[in-house]
Amino acid sequence: MKQQLAGMAEKLEAAAAVINMRKIRITLSVLWAFVGLIAWGQQSTTQPTPTYQKKVLEGIEIETLFSYYAQEGTHGAVGGGLGTEQLTDVTPTVVVNVPLNFNTVLTVETGLSAYSSASSSNINPFYSTLGGNNDDDKYDDDYDDKPSGTGRGWGSGTGAISAASTGVVNGVSTPIGTPWYASSGASRSDVLGYVSAAVAQSSEDRNQIVSANLYVSTEYDYTSLGVGLGLVKLFNEKNTELGIKGKAYFDKWMPIYPTELHEYGKYGNNFLNSGYFSGVPVWDINGIGTSGYKPSAFTEWSNANRNSYTMTLEFSQILSAKTQFSMSVDVVGQQGLLSTPYHRIYFADKPQYFIGDHTYINNYEQTSNYGVFRLADDVERLPNSRLKIPVGGRFHWYLNDLATLRTFYRYYFDNWGVDSQTASVELPLKLSSNWVFTPSFRWYEQSQADYFAPYGVHLSTERYYTSDYDLSGFTSKQIGFGLGYKDIFGQVDVLGFGLKTVDFRFQHYYRSDGLEAVIYGFGIKFVEK
C-alpha cells in the first residue's frame, strides 16, 4: 500500500506541477463561475416565479460566532519537540446568508483568529517576558532589535541569574532564553484574517444544487487563496443525495526561521562574530565557551508555495423514518513547502551548543531550566508532497421526541505513514421545545509519521525529519457538552431581525502525550423578519 501511495505521490507531484501552471486559469474559471452564478441568480429574479414555490432561504440570516481556545503541553515543535506549547486563540466570526432569489443563496463569512503562542515566541527565545524590547520586525532578531538593559533578554554586568528576570553573565553580556517559557518577541502573537464567499444555486425542482466558493486568508507569514466548485444531486424522492466537490488552495509562506539559523543564513560561517550574535558567548555541553557551533545542515527553503487539491465524494441516504446516514471520501493532494520553517531539529550525532546561563544545561529538559537555550542544528524537513485519504461516515438515529443519537466514524491514511481512526458520539436531549442539551464524546488515535522522532533523536544522515508531536503516535479524548436555545417565533427583535438560536459549547481535549486543551464556543443567529 505504501509503495502504491509513493507511486501515486510521484504522479501527484508531476500533476501538481502542471496544475500549478494552470492555477491562474483555474482561479479565473472559478471566479467566472462564481460571478456567473450570481448574475444568473439576479437575472432570474426578474422572471415570473410560480407562487407555490418556496424560497430556499426565506430571509437574510446573520450568525455571530465566537470561540476561545487554550492549550498547554510540553513538546513544543519550535523547541525541537521540547518546551512549552502554551497557546490561546480567540476567533470572532460573522456569517451572513442572503437569498438572492427563490433559488440562490449567497453566504459571506469573515473572521479573525488572534493567537498568542509561547511556542512560536521562541522562534527567538532571547527576549524578556518581563522587560521591554525594541523589536521592530517579525524576525525578532535583527541586530538593531537587540534590547539593552536587564530582563530575560540581554543582560549586562555580573552576577547570577535571578529566575527569569535578569541577564546571565559571567562578566559578559548575553541573551537569556529557555524553551519552557514564552519570550516577548513579536512572533508570540499574530492575527489571521479571512473572508470567504459561496453561492449555492438550487434547481426549480430542488433536486440539484450547484455551488462555487472563494476563500482568502492572511497572517504575517502566510497567505492562502482557495477556490471550489460543487454539485449535489438528489434522487429517489430526495431520499438519496450524491455530491461531488473540488477545492484548491494556493498558499504561500513568507518563511521565518529560528534566530540562530536566520543569522547563520544571513552571515554564513562568520555569523557568531556578526549581527545578533556578535560578542555572545556560546557554551558546549560542559558549559565551556566555544566557537564551534555551525549549523551547516541548514539552508533556507527555495520554494515557499504550498498547494492543496481536494476532491470530495459525498453520499447520503434515508434508511427509515428515524434513521439516516452519510459517507464522505476525500482525496487530498498537497505539494510544496509542507514543513514549518521555524520548527527546530536537534541531531543526536552532533555536538550540543547553548546560549544563556550555562548552569542550567544539566537540567535543560526540565521546566526548572530558566535560563539556557540549545541552538538548533536544522529546521524540520518533510517531503514536498503528501497524499491524504480520509473516509468518514455519519449515522443519525431519532430515538424518540426527547433524544437523538448522532455518531461519526472516520478512517484516514496518508503516504507519510499515518493511519488514524476517529469516532464520536453526541446525544442531543430536548429539555423543552426551546432548549437542547448535548453531551458529546470523541475518541481519536493515530500512528506515528515515518519522519517523526522525539527531541534529540534524529540523525543528521536522515533525509527527512520532524519532532512535531502533531505527527507522533498518540490517542486523544475529547469530552464536552453543548447547550442550545431556539426562539421558535423570533420574539426577540433587534433592528428588524428576530432571534433564531443561541448556542454554547464547551469541550475538553486530552492527548496522550500530555497536551491538554479547552475550547469555549458561543453563537447567536438572527433572521430577517
Partner 1 sequence: MRIKWGVILILVALLQSCTVLKEYEKVYVNDEEMLLVSRSLERFESNFQVYREAAAGGNGGKTGGGCGCN
Residues 171-230 within binding reach of partner 1 (CB under 8 A): 192, 194, 215, 217, 219, 221-222, 224, 226
| 8 A C-beta contact, residue 80 and residue 346 | yes
Q: Residue 322, interface with partner 1 (CB under 8 A)?
A: yes
Query: Which of 250/370 has CB closer to partner 1?
Result: 250
Binding to partner 1 (CB under 8 A) within 53-82 occurs at: 63, 65, 67, 69, 71
CB of 233 to partner 1, least distance (A): 16
Among 125, 381, 478, 499, binds partner 1 (CB under 8 A): 478
Dihedral angle, C-alpha 155, 156, 159, 164, nearest 10 °? -10
Segment near partner 1 (CB under 8 A), from 143-151, 332-340, 349-357, 359-367? Answer: 332-340
Query: Which of 90/285 has CB closer to partner 1?
Result: 90
Q: Residue 526, interface with partner 1 (CB under 8 A)?
A: no
> What are 312's three cell numbers?
470530495
Q: Residue 509, interface with partner 1 (CB under 8 A)?
A: yes
- Residue 239: count of CB within 10 angstroms of its CB: 12
Task: Pick the closest to residue 165 from 128, 120, 121 (CA basis).
Answer: 128
Binding to partner 1 (CB under 8 A) within 84-103 occurs at: 87, 89, 91, 95
Among 167, 175, 177, 482, binds partner 1 (CB under 8 A): 482
Query: Which of 56/169 has CB closer to partner 1?
Result: 56
Q: Residue 314, interface with partner 1 (CB under 8 A)?
A: yes
CB of 452 to partner 1, least distance (A): 9
Number of continuous H segments (helices) and E segments (strands) in the chain: 3, 26
Query: Which of 132/514 has CB closer to partner 1?
Result: 514
Q: Residue 316, interface with partner 1 (CB under 8 A)?
A: yes
Binding to partner 1 (CB under 8 A) within 379-398 occurs at: 388, 390-394, 396, 398
What is the rounded distance in angstroms from the CA atom of residue 214 to the CA atom of residue 227?
5
Q: Residue 517, interface with partner 1 (CB under 8 A)?
A: yes
Q: Residue 325, interface with partner 1 (CB under 8 A)?
A: yes
Among 246, 365, 521, 528, binds partner 1 (CB under 8 A): 521
Task: Pick the closest to residue 511 from 473, 466, 481 (CA basis).
Answer: 473
Query: Which of 277/509 has CB closer to partner 1?
Result: 509
CB of 296 to partner 1, least distance (A): 25
Segment near partner 1 (CB under 8 A), from 23-31, 41-49, 129-137, 520-528? Answer: 520-528
Among 6, 110, 142, 249, binds partner 1 (CB under 8 A): 249
CB of 357 to partner 1, least distance (A): 28
Among 456, 503, 526, 527, binds partner 1 (CB under 8 A): 503
User: Which DSSP state fits 465?
Assistant: B
Site string for partner 1, 114-133 (x = CB under 8 A): -x-x-xx-------------
Q: How many residues bind partner 1 (CB under 8 A)?
A: 96
The beta-strand segments (E) located in 163-304 are: 174-175, 189-202, 208-219, 222-235, 240-253, 282-284, 289-290
What is the rounded distance in angstroms from the CA atom of residue 395 to the CA atom of residue 33?
34
CB of 281 to partner 1, least distance (A): 32
Among 449, 453, 499, 527, binds partner 1 (CB under 8 A): 449
What separation in angstroms does the CA of 68 have from each of 327, 381, 510? 30, 32, 17
CB of 497 to partner 1, least distance (A): 17
> Cell numbers 469541550 label which residue?
507
> What are 25's three cell numbers?
486559469
- Residue 356: strand pairing partners: 372
Q: Residue 470, interface with partner 1 (CB under 8 A)?
A: yes
Query: Which of 121/150 has CB closer to partner 1?
Result: 121
Q: Residue 301, interface with partner 1 (CB under 8 A)?
A: no
Among 34, 104, 507, 527, binds partner 1 (CB under 8 A): 507
- Residue 401: count of CB within 10 angstroms of its CB: 7
Query: Which of 74/120 has CB closer to partner 1?
Result: 120
Binding to partner 1 (CB under 8 A) within 400-439 occurs at: 404, 406, 408, 410-412, 414, 416, 418, 420, 422, 428, 430, 436
Which phi and psi angles does 252 have, rounded to 5°? -140, 130
HSE-up of residue 66 (Cα within 13 Å, Cβ side): 6
Among 11, 22, 233, 238, binds partner 1 (CB under 8 A): 238
CB of 364 to partner 1, least distance (A): 24
What separation in angstroms does the CA of 348 have from each of 30, 129, 159, 377, 453? 49, 31, 33, 10, 11
Mark 98-134 as b/e (b = at least 16 C-beta within 10 Å): bbbbbbbbbbebebebebbbbbbbbbbbbbbbebebe
HSE-up of residue 419 (Cα within 13 Å, Cβ side): 3
Which phi and psi angles does 298 have, rounded to 5°? -80, 130
Q: Residue 317, interface with partner 1 (CB under 8 A)?
A: yes
What is the rounded distance in angstroms from the CA atom of residue 194 to the CA atom of residue 450?
33
> What order do you get walking across the sheet with 372-374 strand by strand?
289-290, 282-284, 353-356, 372-374
| 8 A C-beta contact, residue 443 and residue 423 | yes
